[in-house]
Amino acid sequence: MASVEFANVRKSFGTHPVIKGVDIEIADGEFVILVGPSGCGKSTLLRMLAGLENISAGEIRIGGQVVNGLAPKERDIAMVFQNYALYPHMTVADNMAFSLTLKGAAKSEIEKRVKPAAEILGLSHLLDRFPRQLSGGQRQRVAMGRAIVRDPQVFLFDEPLSNLDAKLRVAMRAEIKELHQRLKTTTVYVTHDQIEAMTMADKIVVMHDGIVEQIGAPLELYDQPANLFVASFIGSPAMNMIKGRLDPNDTQKFVTEKGVVLPVAKAPESAKGLALIYGLRPEHMTIAAGGIPAEVVVIEPTGSETQMIMRVGGDLVTGVFHQRISARPGEVVGLSIHAESTYLFDAETGKRLV
C-alpha cells in the first residue's frame, strides 16, 4: 500500500494538451474516484499513473517515489480494464496467476495466493473455465481477482462497470466497495457515472477539460460545489440553474430574467449588479399553498418519490418530492423554496458566491 501524488502533471498529444496541470494527493488506503464527462482526461491520467502513457511535464509519486521514468511493471500497481483484458487463451486460474507465473513462483505458492482470492470473489468453481465461457460479471470478477492476487501498492480501475447491465452494476459497486474495505489497498477509480462516484468514493476528484474542478468527499461536493460545473455534474436529477440578478434593494431576493422573485440566504454585497445563476437542487423544495406559482409540465411518480417538471416564470424547474402528489399537467401549484439550501453562482466565472 502507498500514497499517490500528482504534482502539476501535464500531458499533450502532439500540440493538443489533454491534461493541463493536475495536482491530486491520495492518502494511503484511500478510495479515490476520478469523475468527469468523456474526454475530460480522467482515463489518460489513470494510464499515466499506470505507466501506459508517458508524462509530458510534472511528477507522479507512488509511496513518495517519483515514477515518471519507471516502466509499468516496476510500479507495483494492478489495473482492471474496462474490457477486462483477460487473456483469452488462459483459464481463470492461469489468468489470475499470470503475474506470479512470470515471477517464477512455485506452484504451491501460486495456489496459496489464487485460492483465497478466488474464494473472496466467488470464482472457486470457475477456475478451469476460459474467459469466453464466463458471463460479464464473472469476467469482471476475474479481472479483479488478477489484481488482488498481485497484492499491489495501488489498484487502478478504468471504468470497470460500464460494460455491465444496470442491475449487475449496482451489485458490483457494493462488491468493489466491500473489497476495498477488506483489503484497504489505495485505489484510484475512473468513471463517468457520478452515482458510482458518490456511492463508492472516500474522495472524489471532479475533472473537466483536462483540469481538476474540485476535490472532496462525496457529500462535500454535493453540499458545497465550488462552481457551476461541479454543481451541475454531481447530483441526480441535476441542480436547477436559473439566470437572473439580485434585487438591488434586497440581497435576500433573486429576480429571474422573467421577473419571478426567488429567496436567497445572505448574498454578499459584491454580488449586487452581477449577472448570476441561481442554483436549486430538486430535493430542496416543497409544495405549499401560497408559495411561488409553478405550472406542472410533467409529473413522474416513481413510488418512493415524485418527480415534477414545472414552469416557474419562463424557466423549467425540476423538483423531487417525497410525498405523493395528485397534480395534473397544466395545474398551478405553490412552491416553497428553502432559502438556506440555495446557491448563487457568478454567471461569468462560474464560481459559487453563496
14-22, 96-104, 205-213, 265-273 -> range binding another protein (CB under 8 A)? 96-104
CA distance 295 to 332: 4
Q: Is 103 in the site for another protein (CB under 8 A)?
A: yes
In the complex with another protein, the residue whose CB is nearer, 59 or 128, is 128
CA distance 289 to 334: 5
Q: How far is the CB of 107 from another protein (least distance, A)?
A: 17
Q: Is 87 in the site for another protein (CB under 8 A)?
A: yes
Q: Is 109 in the site for another protein (CB under 8 A)?
A: no
Helix (H) and strand (E) counts for the chain?
A: 8, 19
DSSP 78-136: EEE-TT----TTS-HHHHHHHHHHHHT--HHHHHHHHHHHHHHHT-GGGTTS-GGGS-H
H/E run at residue 50: helix 42-50
Q: Which residues contact 1 (CB under 8 A, 6 or more apart)?
A: 28, 29, 153, 154, 184, 185, 186
Q: How far is the CB of 130 from another protein (least distance, A)?
A: 5
Q: How far is the CB of 125 from another protein (least distance, A)?
A: 13
In the complex with another protein, the residue whose CB is nearer, 150 or 192, is 150
Q: How far is the CB of 213 from another protein (least distance, A)?
A: 28
Q: State which amino acid sits at residue 315.
A: D
H/E run at residue 178: helix 166-183
Report 137-196 residues binding another protein (CB under 8 A): 146, 150
Question: Which residues sit opposite 11 in a β-bridge?
Answer: 19
Binding mask 42-81 for another protein (x = CB under 8 A): --------xxx------------------xxx---xxx-x
Running DSSP on this structure, what letter comes out for residue 341? Answer: G
4-12, 95-103, 313-321, 333-341 -> range binding another protein (CB under 8 A)? 95-103
Using CB under 8 A, which of 69, 102, 303, 326 touches another protein?
A: 102
In the complex with another protein, the residue whose CB is nearer, 14 or 330, is 14
32-40, 112-120, 129-137, 251-259 -> range binding another protein (CB under 8 A)? 129-137
**Total number of residues binding another protein (CB under 8 A)?**
28
In the complex with another protein, the residue whose CB is nearer, 130 or 321, is 130
In the complex with another protein, the residue whose CB is nearer, 164 or 337, is 164
The answer to whether residues 282 and 320 touch, using CB atoms and an 8 Å cutoff, is: yes
In the complex with another protein, the residue whose CB is nearer, 156 or 280, is 156
φ/ψ bin of 85: left (φ > 0), alpha (ψ from -120 to 50), beta (otherwise): left
Which among 46, 63, 64 is positioned nearest to 9, based on CA atoms? 46
| Cα dihedral value 13, 60, 201, 320, nearest 10 | -40
In the complex with another protein, the residue whose CB is nearer, 70 or 325, is 70
In the complex with another protein, the residue whose CB is nearer, 132 or 328, is 132
In the complex with another protein, the residue whose CB is nearer, 52 or 288, is 52
CA distance 198 to 10: 26
Q: How far is the CB of 176 from another protein (least distance, A)?
A: 18
Using CB under 8 A, which of 7, 70, 85, 168 touches another protein?
A: 85
Using CB under 8 A, which of 70, 90, 320, 339 touches another protein?
A: 90
**Secondary structure (H, E, C), 256-317:** ECCCCEEECCCCCHHHCCCCEEEEECCCCEEEEEEEEEEEEEEEEECCCCEEEEEEECCEEE
- At which residue does the C-alpha cell 479483479 appear? 144
In the complex with another protein, the residue whose CB is nearer, 100 or 280, is 100
Give the footprint of another protein on this chain (CB under 8 A).
50-52, 71-73, 77-79, 81, 83, 85, 87-90, 98-99, 102-103, 128-133, 146, 150
